[in-house]
Amino acid sequence: MGKNIINDQEFTYDDKYSHKDFTGRRLSDVKDLNGITIFGSCFSQEIPDTKVFPDIEELTLINCNTDNIYIDPKWKIIGCSNRRFQVQTDLMDWEVDKNNKPIKPLQKEEYLKLGLSINPIDLPKEPMEKNIIEKKKEELDNE
């Protein structure tokens, strides 16, 4: 068991699942998760609302990457990243709403720097062969 202090509150966390990279993995068949606290792990998935954990009543996630994972309303989530994103036709990840409609690119600053539109209406109708940032950088290099 590890310990950490956040906002003057001490948390004891489970070492087996804390400070680990579970990117793209599912723990739905794991039996020892109910009631534990996990600190600083990555559970990020490619598809929004992916169910990573089994049906459990109690779980506390602190400072974890929970991007694109389903979060049960009964669980405690403290300081976690929980973005919903999907690859769009420009072959880049965009934040999406609850209906999976694109809102803005995750690399918004890079789009703006390169003069690319961040308006979802401007996404290509068909998937590009190369992601839009690589394509734009190549165009600029060839000028």
Q: How do residues 81-94 score in pLDDT, each as one tens digit? A: 999 999 999 999 99
Average pLDDT over residues 110-121: 97
Q: What is the pTM of this model?
A: 0.83
Tell me which residue of 96, 91, 93, 104 sits closest to 134, measured CA to CA. 91
In which residue are the tokens 């308006």 written?
119
Q: What is the pLDDT of residues 2-59, one digit of tens each?
A: 555 666 667 788 899 999 999 999 999 999 999 999 999 999 999 999 999 999 999 9
Tell me which residue of 47, 49, 55 sits closest to 74, measured CA to CA. 55
User: pLDDT at position 3, please?
Assistant: 56
Domain range summary for the chain, segments of one domain joined by +: 1-83, 85-141
- What are 72's two structure tokens? 């049960």
Q: What is the mean pLDDT of the chain?
A: 93
Q: Which helix (H) or strand (E) is 10 found in, with range?
A: strand 9-13
Tell me which residue of 73, 64, 116 sits closest to 94, measured CA to CA. 116
